[in-house]
Structure 1
Amino acid sequence: MEKKENKNQKEITVGRALFGFFGPILVLVVLIAFGAEVTIAALAALFVMIVFCMYLGFDWNKIDGAMSEGVRQIATASMIMLLVGCMVAVWMSSGTIPTLLYYGMKIITPRLFLPICFILPAFMAVCAGTSWGSISTIGVVLCGMAEGLGIPVAMAAGAVISGAFFGDKMSPLSDTTLLAASSCEVPLFTHIKSMWYTTVPGTIICLVIYTILGMNASGQIDSAVVNELSNGLSSNFNISWIHIIPVALVLILSVKQVPAFIAFGVGIGSGIIWSMIFQGRGFIENLDYIMNGFSIESGVDSVDTLVNRGGFSSMLSLVGILLVLGMLSGLFSESGVLNVLVNHLSKKLNTPGTIMFGVWISSLIICLIGGQYPAIAIPAVAFKDVCDDMDIHRAVLSRTLEDVGTMVAAIIPWSAWVMGYGVVLGGITVQQFIPFTFLPMLCPIIGLINNFLGIGMYHSKDEVKYRPLWRRK
């Protein structure tokens, strides 16, 4: 949004910028810590930021315009979230998700279930370029199976989200991957090769941990529970491989980079058709499911718990949070708070390791409130010339921005998206699954260590190749 000069506006000093950034965040965190709903905490933070902008001398029209711009930027994401809720409901009605659950419980080895929960979503997210699409499709199925296999759903959800964010980070189709490469002016596959320095060790550690956890958790498996769930699904749904077609259609369209609106629309439409033809449910009945969520009384509590979910209305509270945070992000941008802080930080750092630490901490701070896109784009603009001056390849910059900006977004407790993962994956809370979401925790740590040790810290003119433990000289 174009900014107009106003003589009554106060200068954004570093001190004011610090207050303007940390004031709203402090209010948000304190209220959540005292038990307030995230929506109310975010709304309180928004009002603090409005008061701060008024103190700076912004008139109401500019404040209102900034909030509107923030909402506009997340409008598409909000609509996609609502579409996912609709699609989950209709895929339950059509028998698509019940079919995947039924067959999955027949073929997946329980002792290796958690590593599979990492690998399958990672594969799908790399193919489709979206973590959310992977989580809301195969992730729903895997977490449903975990419940039947006696494995804690929170563990499965953590593995699913970790795998999905592997794909979000590494896929050439991912919007964050494209954004990081383009913002830093790095060739796309050069950027991806650079990211192996943190992603490979992080993935190996994850697979080891999930294998150990899965082998221990698998001792709790009760075959009677699995049989009860399988029989309950087959008694209430027409189970057939043909019901997997709606999922396949969405994945194929995503791989072909068809817009998410269209891909999810096809998923919803095909689900309605499948429900009417194969499950005998009426058109109006499906419309009610799309709005209010799928619901049956199967006579088996575990089946009801598993399949009664989804719907447009199930996502409304999350979209409300997203809208409030979008307004807050718009005010941060309009006030210039973020730019002042990042620019000031970049001037205080004078070695390759400290420069990349500045990138790391800047991206982390911005991600905590602004989300993935500003956490990637703003530090990229602020630090790419600094990296050139310090003879640091910009692929190191783009890699660090993904290690932090992309990955940390998966484990921010007050994020509407992160809470949405819990809703979609079985009604679990962020406190339950975040401790098991290992890859988004590991990548920033490994990246920080690598940058200070000089591992993968290429000079500007170096050819970027993945050579484990290669160090800058």
Structure 2
Amino acid sequence: MTSKKFTVNSNLVLLVSIISVIGCMFMNIPLYAGFFAGIVLTALSMYTAGFKIKQIFNTMVSSIVEIKGLILIILLIGATTTVWISSGVIPTIMYYGFNYMNGVNFLLATFLIMTVVSIFMGTAVGTISTVGIALMGIGFGLGIPPEMLIGVLVSGAFVADKISPLSGLLNLTMSTVKRNYLQIIKSFSITLIPLIIITAIIYCIMGSQYAVNNYSSLEVYKEAIINDINISPFLLLMPILMVILSLVGLKSTITIGIGVVCGGIFSVAMQDMFILETIKSIMFGYSAKTASAELNSILVSGGVVSMIDVILIVVGSVVLVGLFEKSNVLEPIINKLISKVNSKFQLILKTGILSSLMTIITCDQTVGIILPGKTLQDKYEEFNIDSVVLARTISDTGTIIAPLMVWNVNSFIINSVTGISALGYAPYAVLCYLCPAITIIISWLTYRRKQKELS
């Protein structure tokens, strides 16, 4: 089937679609309405340009089919958060965590814990919806502002998408540039090591004012947990199991699915819930019933049903992007960016800009990885730059900035799980800002050094 060129103003279609989404945010209308408005406009424009209705429809269907795995993961995340609370796993982590908070810089500890766990689990949103929720509960008990705490969780969790060998996005990046993990890890470390160190220092400074020197503020939470929820070290096997399953190479859907089943079993066995009650909570949500109203507001989840809005947004954004690609709406942007590249540094800089723009426009990292990864390989060969640098630049820019945008798929999921929108946590997601800056600075310094050597 031959592809047709768009004969209408592609910039106009893109602009109106973006305005529709942003307008929904400001008018407090569900975001999927903005995406669907963009879909209607783009589809009508394609039809007037000569595309057949069947072509347009098939593009929409194929776009949805491609994300069936993501849809399943989103539903499982809604279920996972629920069973980790109802089974007592998160309350147990909170209870024991409160016992070891004396003098600890919690923001720094949270960042480091999330970084390590996310690398092992290979999924940013999966780490946030499990271990992140437990750390969030502890942080709230310490009086840390929710927006700040979620920003720290996001910073640590999204290291997974940058460096974890289990990350689907990193594997997509490697396959796009035709490199394996051993080939890219050295290049990635050039930016990763200073990134982790600088971010840790910033969170150490930010967290110094929240170090706990007395337990008076925590005793109410501890008493409510121990009195109304069955706490056991045995429940800590759940997060350990999740990490082990990730390490042995199971798919995220299988790992998270097993976690949901185990969580349901623990809810019945450890918390004396009925089977039907457990199933109902998985579907429609769960709220703890302790003597502390503040604790109850933390130990709450909307279940699978709460993720329906997220799925509608994801479907809307993916279908819209599919139509953009089919009709070449994005082509003028790409051509303008990659033209007139005169140096290695310019190429790396424009790679970062292109990857970031695609992530911003398409609401997902996939296009921000595949499009620059495929279209710029010849340019990198022309300038004699190894494709591992292309992979690193994409990972450090378009991949890592995703949770900062309110309309991004990742921020939708984070908002559903934590109740905090990107507008709230983005200012504190330090790593997501530092990463693009560090990769550009290091590339510029490398370019300058080589220029001096040549001269």
> Which TM-score applies when normalising by structure 1?
0.90
- Pick from 248, 251, 254: which aligns with 1:256? 248
| Structure-1 separation of matches of 2:225 and 2:454 | 57
Structure 1's unaligned 5+ residue stretches are 460-469
Within-5 A mapping of 1:262-411: 262-339=254-331, 341-370=333-362, 371-411=364-404
Matched residue, 1:38:
31
- What one-letter code is carried by the residue in structure 1 that aligns with 2:299? V
Asked whether 1:442 is paired with 2:399, we answer no
Within-5 A mapping of 1:93-172: 93-109=86-102, 111-172=104-165
Could you list the structure 1 runs, at least 4 aligned residues long, displaced by more than 6 angstroms after superposition. 456-459, 470-473
| Structure-1 separation of matches of 2:325 and 2:220 | 54
Q: CA deviation at 1:281?
A: 1.1
Does the CA-based 8 Å contact 1:450-1:456 persist in structure 2?
no
Give the number of aligned pairs: 454
Does the CA-based 8 Å contact 1:134-1:164 persist in structure 2?
yes
Q: CA deviation at 1:111?
A: 4.3
| Structure-2 separation of matches of 1:104 and 1:319 | 33
Structure 2's unaligned 5+ residue stretches are none
Does the CA-based 8 Å contact 1:249-1:266 persist in structure 2?
no
Q: CA deviation at 1:471?
A: 9.0
Matched residue, 1:4:
2
| Structure-1 separation of matches of 2:304 and 2:407 | 21
| Structure-1 separation of matches of 2:185 and 2:453 | 18
Matched residue, 1:454:
446
| Structure-2 separation of matches of 1:284 and 1:349 | 62
Does the CA-based 8 Å contact 1:346-1:382 persist in structure 2?
no
SS in 2 for 1:349: coil
- Pick from 195, 199, 215: which aligns with 1:202? 195
Q: CA deviation at 1:79?
A: 1.3
- What one-letter code is carried by the residue in structure 1 that aligns with 2:57? D
Does the CA-based 8 Å contact 2:396-2:436 persist in structure 1?
yes
SS in 1 for 2:342: coil
- What one-letter code is carried by the residue in structure 2 that aligns with 1:36? I
Does the CA-based 8 Å contact 2:351-2:394 persist in structure 1?
yes
Within-5 A mapping of 1:233-244: 233-244=225-236
Does the CA-based 8 Å contact 1:451-1:457 persist in structure 2?
no
| Structure-2 separation of matches of 1:472 and 1:148 | 58
CA distance 1:277–1:271, shift in 2 (3 Å): same
Q: CA deviation at 1:458?
A: 9.2
CA distance 1:195–1:17, shift in 2 (3 Å): farther
> Which TM-score applies when normalising by structure 2?
0.93
Q: CA deviation at 1:357?
A: 2.0
- Pick from 396, 413, 417: which aligns with 2:410? 417
Does the CA-based 8 Å contact 1:121-1:163 persist in structure 2?
yes
CA distance 1:296–1:113, shift in 2 (3 Å): closer
Q: Deviations over 1:410-456 (max 9, x none)?
A: 2111123212213313x122211111011111111222223333369
| Structure-2 separation of matches of 1:270 and 1:222 | 36
| Structure-2 separation of matches of 1:472 and 1:127 | 42
